[in-house]
Amino acid sequence: MQSHPDVIVIGAGVVGLSAAIALQARGLRVCVLDREGPAAGASAGNAGAFAFTDILPLASPGILKKAPKWLLDPLGPLSVPPAYALKIAPWMYRFWRACSPRQVAQSTQAQTAMMDLSRAELEPFLGATGTLDMLRKDGNLQVYESEAEFQASLPGWQARADHGIEFQHVDAAGIAALQPGLAPRFVKGTFTPGWFSIADPKLYTLALAEHLRNSGGEISRHAVTSLRALDGGIEIDGQFRAAHVVIAAGAHSHRIAASLNEAIPLETERGYNTTLPADALDLRTQITFGGHGFVVSRLSSGIRVGGAVELGGLDLPANFKRAEAMLAKAKNFLPDLDVTGGRQWMGFRPSLPDSLPVIGPARASSRVIYAFGHGHLGLTQSAGTARLVADLVTGQKAAIDLAPFSSQRF
């Protein structure tokens, strides 16, 4: 590892590597530390979407209405393992408070600014890193099983329309034209043409790692446990030192921040999926089954069926019955889907109770920059986060108001 890097980035997922590349582009010497190496966590197994239209926070009155029913199903869209229920209670209380209309309006405004920035930064970033050919623009089709479910979605679509997001509502015939083979139980749909995706999120993240190395950056395996502020820099575990440190370690980030005596209510949404062979289905667009909390995506590596939320922390064993339940539903909804030969996966999504990430300086030292807690939107907001981190480290004015993303908002 470089003896005197300007910046050490903790985390070799898509957010950390994007930030490292943006810092490197500003002329800084950058090293990345990660407990396992590039693309080992949620960056490898996500659905591959740049969900710029998802400006509405997960913490919302709509989720509160659905949550009691979902929580009764241990394999449903939202679950809390009994062994973790007591530990997560304070986070759930904060989540409930974040569902107030006033907080939702504030979070939506902040999320919209973050999405606008991330979308503007994405294609230039892909071009600079030689990954533009991995970008796809196939859209997303959200489907509804009843007129009532469709009507309940309309306020959210109006909020998107107010921001100029393009979409079209379709009936059953329109659904069939966009994606043949969906079960007739889906009577309405909404197609969002401006929905981007990446050919494969793991391959993309590994390509970023290769670009960083080829440009003179370093990536080393090390499980960071503590930081200490020194005159003119930050020390990591008594072994590494740099003028600035960026914490982008995903679901493990709050444990590192705790060494600076900062308690950040980060929790872990454990996401499950199954990736089927590429010929498992003639998939024309990503399909979102919002009432069931999962999506079906077409990647270069196969057809991925995944999503849902299990609030179970970092240490409980995986429950792959959740992946099996989603796959069974997908087969029911898409009868032509070949569900054989799949690979199961579980990963940790780092989530804050108000659905916004933490981006900005640590309370203990402005030389430590936080960049974590993106929930389902790490890939989506990676290029925007990278821009903000580079601005903060180099003393430039941030491209958007960072007050809503401050770690001290809690």
Q: pLDDT in tens for each of the 410 residues of the chain? A: 556 899 999 999 999 999 999 999 999 999 999 999 999 988 999 999 999 999 998 888 778 777 777 776 888 888 999 999 999 999 999 999 999 999 999 999 999 999 999 999 999 999 999 999 999 999 999 999 999 999 999 999 999 999 899 999 999 999 999 999 999 999 999 999 989 999 999 999 999 999 999 999 999 999 999 999 998 899 999 999 999 999 999 999 999 999 999 999 999 999 999 999 999 999 999 999 999 999 999 999 999 999 988 999 999 999 999 999 999 999 999 999 999 999 999 999 999 999 999 999 999 999 999 999 999 999 999 999 999 999 999 999 999 999 999 999 99
Residue 208, CA atoms < 13 Å, CB-side half-sphere: 32
**Residue 164 Rama label (left phi>0; alpha psi -120 to 50; beta):** left
Q: Which of 256, 272, 259 is nearest to 317 (CA)?
A: 272
Interhelix angle for 101-128 vs 14-25, to 10°? 60
Q: For the chain, what's the residue count?
A: 410
Q: Which of 339, 357, 364, 341 is nearest to 409 (CA)?
A: 357
Q: Which of 276, 299, 275, 277 is nearest to 286 (CA)?
A: 299
H runs (alpha helix) in 77-168: 85-98, 101-128, 147-162
Residue 252, CA atoms < 13 Å, CB-side half-sphere: 22
Asked if 7-44+202-264+355-409 and 55-100+135-196+266-351 have one fold, the answer is: no
Q: Which of 336, 217, 283, 361 is nearest to 48 (CA)?
A: 283
Q: Which phi and psi (to 5°) does residue 289 adopt?
A: -100, 80
Instruction: Measure the CA dihedral 340/345/350/354, to 10°.
Output: 20
Q: Which of 95, 111, 88 is nearest to 159 (CA)?
A: 111
In which element (H, E) is residue 23 found? helix 14-25
In words, the CATH class of domain 7-44+202-264+355-409 is alpha beta
User: Within 10 A of 273 (CB to CB), how many other CB atoms are there?
Assistant: 27
Token digits for 203? 């391959």
Q: What is the pTM of this model?
A: 0.95
How far is the C-alpha of 13 from the C-alpha of 382, rounded, in Å? 10
How far is the C-alpha of 397 from the C-alpha of 257, rounded, in Å? 24
CATH code of 55-100+135-196+266-351, in short, is 3.30.9.10
Delimit the domains of the chain by residue range. 7-44+202-264+355-409, 55-100+135-196+266-351
Token digits for 404? 């809503």
